[in-house]
Chains A and B, each alone.
Chain A
Amino acid sequence: MRPLSLAAPLALFLALAGCASKPVMQDGIQVNDPFEAQNRRVHVFNKAVDARVIGPVARLASGGDDAAGGPGAMDPVINAGANLSLPGKVANSLLQGRPEPAIKNFFRFAVNTTLGMGGLFDPAGRDFGLPEHDTDFGETLAVWGVPEGAYLELPVLGPSTQRDAAGKVVDLVIDPLYHVLNRDAAWAAFGLRAASKAGDRARFDDTVDSVLQDSADSYAQLRLIYLMHRRHELNEGGTEIDPYAEAAAGGAIDPYAE
C-alpha cells in the first residue's frame, strides 16, 4: 500500500463534511468550530501523545541540545525531509498560478539534492539565496476561492481546518515524488518527512511546551494561534485590535463592539 491509497476517500469525506455553520467572534478573531466537543477529545489525545511519545523522542533525537539556535544533530534529517517536500511545493505554486516561487523551489531542490548531498545540507539557502518558499494544497484551495471551513484538530497531526485537511490529503496524491518512487522508496521518503516534522517539533520544543502545558485552556490557545498564523500565511486578513476604541466604548456597554 502506498501512503496515498487512503487519500481519495478521505478527501471526499472532508469535502462533504464542510457544511454550513456560523462562525463567532472570539478573542478578536472569527472562529468556526462546530466540532468543538470532538476536537477537544482529539486534543486531549494529542497532548498525551506529545507528552509521552513525540516530545521525548524528538528531544532524544536532537541529543537534548538546548543551546538555543545552535545547530542540532537533527538538522540533516530536518533538511532532507524538507528537501523531499519541494517537488510538491513546486506543483502547488504552479497550480496557484505563481511561477516565481515554483522556479525558486525547483532550483532549491536541484541545488540541495546535488551539492547538498541529497538534501542533508542546505547550500541553496546558505549560499544561493534560495530559502524555502512554503506552500501546500490547502493554500492552492484558498487561492481557488474555497472557504476555510470548520476548525479541526486532527489526531497526531494537530490543528487544521477542513480546507487544510483536504489539502493535506491531496498533497499526498499529487506529490510528484511518490509517482516516481517505487513502493518501498515512497514509504522511506514518507518516513523521512515524518522524522523531519518531529525534528521541527524538537527545535520548537520550549515554545510548543509553553502553549500545550502552560496555557489555562491549551485547546483554545492552540486553535487561536493556528488560525491567526494560517490566515496570515494565506493573506486572508490580519487581526487588528484597537483596545483604545474598546476602552472609549467601555463606559456605556456596547455589545456590538465585542
Chain B
Amino acid sequence: MPRLQQAVPSTLMPNDRRGFLTLLGAAALTLAPVRGWSLDAGQARALIDTALGEVYRVINSGQPPAQMYRDFESIFVRYADVDVIARSALGPAARQADPAALAGYTRAFQGYIGRKYGKRFREFVGSRIEVTGARPLKSFYAVTSVAYLNGRAPMEVEWHVSNKSGQDRFFNIIIEGVNMLASERAEISAMLTARRGDLAALTADLQAAG
C-alpha cells in the first residue's frame, strides 16, 4: 500500500481523500475480474484449504448443534457460490421466479444446507481431510481431497471451483462420486412437485427442512 500512496499525485491527498478512495474503489473493481480470470490451480486449492480449516474449527469447537449449523451456513455463504447452487437446484423454475421470491428461496436454501450438511459433519469429529491436488476441468477447476474418517476406508472428496461469479467460489462437492448439486436438484424438484410448483410454499418448507 505505501508505494501506491506515493504514486498518487499529492494534490489528491489529503484534501481530496474521498476522491482518492473512490479511485481506489474503482481500481479494485477493475482489478477484480482481471484477478478472477487468472484463477489457477493454486488459488482454487487455497480456497478449499481455507474453507476446510474453518469447517474443522467449527467441528472441533464443541458448540451446541444449532450454533454449529449457523456457523456452517456462514462458511457456506463465504466460500460457496450460493446463488448459482440454489438456482441450479431449483432448475427450470428459477427462470420464471420473480427476483424477490428467488432471493427468499435462496436464503431459505442456505439455511437448509447449513443444517443438512452440518448434521453429517458431526461424523467428522476426529477426522481429517487432506487436499491432494487441483486440475482444470471444463470451464472450472476440480480440487481433489481425501477424507480420513475413523475406522472407514478413506473417501475421495472433489470440489468444483469457479470464478464466474466474480470471486473464487466452490459450487459443487462430489463425495465418492455422489454429486451434491445433482442430489439437491432431485430433492428440491421433489419438494417443489409436492407443493405443485408453489415457490413460496417450497421456501417455507425449506426453512423447516434439513
Contact = CB atoms under 8 A, between A and B. Distances in A.
Interface in B86-110: 87-88, 92, 94-95
Contacts, number: 118
Contact of A233 (B126, B138, B177, B190): B177
A221 interface: yes
A27 B176 contact: no
B183 A240 contact: no
A216 interface: yes
A244 interface: yes
Interface string A187-201: 000000000000000
B67 interface: no
A243 B179 contact: no
A27 B119 contact: no
Interface string A212-256: 001111001100110011111100001111111111001001000
A27 B190 CA distance: 11
Contact of B171 (A203, A239, A243): A243
B189 interface: yes
Interface in A117-151: 131-132, 134
Given A233-B176, A241-B179, 20 more contacts: A29-B179, A68-B126, A69-B127, A71-B151, A215-B190, A216-B187, A217-B186, A220-B186, A221-B190, A228-B177, A228-B178, A229-B176, A233-B177, A238-B177, A239-B177, A240-B160, A242-B140, A244-B84, A244-B171, A245-B139
6 contacts: A28-B179, A232-B177, A233-B176, A240-B160, A253-B92, A253-B95
Interface of B: 84-85, 87-88, 92, 94-95, 116, 119-120, 122-127, 137-140, 149-153, 160, 162, 164, 171-172, 174, 176-179, 181-183, 185-187, 189-191, 193-194, 209
Interface of A: 26-29, 68-71, 75, 131-132, 134, 203, 206-207, 210, 214-217, 220-221, 224-225, 228-233, 238-247, 250, 253, 258
